[in-house]
């Protein structure tokens, strides 16, 4: 690939099709590094003939752009779904296994069963479906990037709603990540019921 050539957002989708796949779902999670709230996964089956412009890792997009793409994706997708793992499951299973559980649930919640999964990360999901795990897949695959966007928008809105249920922590601002603001509230107020008891954090 030359320095000026754009990466192919369907490189892995095309590869999966070369392996015989017909219905491909991208799968990604968000919220693994947070101190509070659930881990959320998205699964999405795109129309590969009509991929929206601008899909990439949700962390590289502004909130406004994520919201715009989320609407576009949900209107254009063949199917999409969300899966979650609760704070209690995170503390019981550990965050890695809880994230894989959320991914599994997202795929199981799809209205159409895919025959191939493109999964962000190093490990496959515990499902009897052919799949490929791709490190930094949300930056290499349109399907995985799209999954990261719908999961991120869903989780951010959930944390904003939980700000009303658990006032004083400003979840709407930091979404549960370990920002200075969040840790200041933790120091002064102690943990809420939606904080992950198994996570450690540094005092400000």
Q: What is the mean pLDDT of residues 132-151?
A: 96
Q: What is the mean pLDDT of residues 62-90?
A: 97
Q: Indicate whether 6 pLDDT > 80.
A: no
Structure tokens at 26: 């991208």
| Number of domains making up the chain | 1
The answer as to whether 33 is a domain residue is yes
The answer as to whether 203 is a domain residue is no
pLDDT digits (tens, 9 = 90+) for 78-94: 999 999 999 999 999 99
The answer as to whether 35 is a domain residue is yes
Q: With H, G, I as helix, E, B as strand and everything else as coil, classify residue 156.
A: helix
CATH code, domain carrying 150 = 3.30.420.10
| Contact yes or no for 9/171 (Cβ under 8 A) | no
The answer as to whether 188 is a domain residue is no
The answer as to whether 43 is a domain residue is yes
Residues in the chain: 204
The answer as to whether 190 is a domain residue is no
| Contact yes or no for 142/73 (Cβ under 8 A) | no
Pairing assessment for the beta strands 39-45 and 24-30 based on DSSP bridges? antiparallel
pTM of the model: 0.94
The answer as to whether 39 is a domain residue is yes
Q: Indicate whether 3 pLDDT > 50.
A: no
Q: What is the mean pLDDT of residues 114-125?
A: 96
Query: Which domain range does residue 75 map to?
Result: 11-162
Compute φ and ψ for 180, nearest 5 degrees.
Answer: -60, -45
């Amino acid at each position: 690939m030359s320095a000026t050539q754009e990466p192919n957002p369907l490189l892995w989708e095309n590869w999966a099709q070369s392996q015989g796949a017909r219905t491909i779902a991208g799968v990604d999670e968000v919220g693994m590094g947070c101190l509070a709230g659930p881990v959320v996964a998205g699964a999405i089956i795109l129309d590969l003939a009509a991929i929206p412009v601008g899909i990439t890792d949700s962390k590289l997009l502004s909130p406004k752009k994520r919201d715009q793409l989320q609407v576009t994706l949900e209107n254009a997708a063949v199917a999409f779904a969300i899966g979650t793992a609760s704070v209690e499951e995170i503390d019981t299973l550990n965050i890695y296994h809880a994230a894989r559980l959320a991914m599994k649930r997202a795929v199981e919640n799809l209205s159409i069963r895919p025959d191939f999964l493109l999964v962000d990360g190093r490990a496959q999901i515990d499902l009897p479906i052919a799949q490929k795990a791709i490190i930094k897949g949300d930056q290499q695959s349109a399907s995985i990037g799209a999954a990261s966007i719908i999961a991120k928008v869903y989780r951010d809105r959930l944390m904003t709603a939980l700000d009303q249920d658990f006032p004083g922590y400003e979840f709407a601002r930091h979404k549960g990540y370990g920002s200075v603001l969040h840790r200041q509230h933790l120091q002064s107020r102690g943990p809420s019921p939606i904080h992950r008891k198994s996570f450690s954090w540094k005092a400000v």
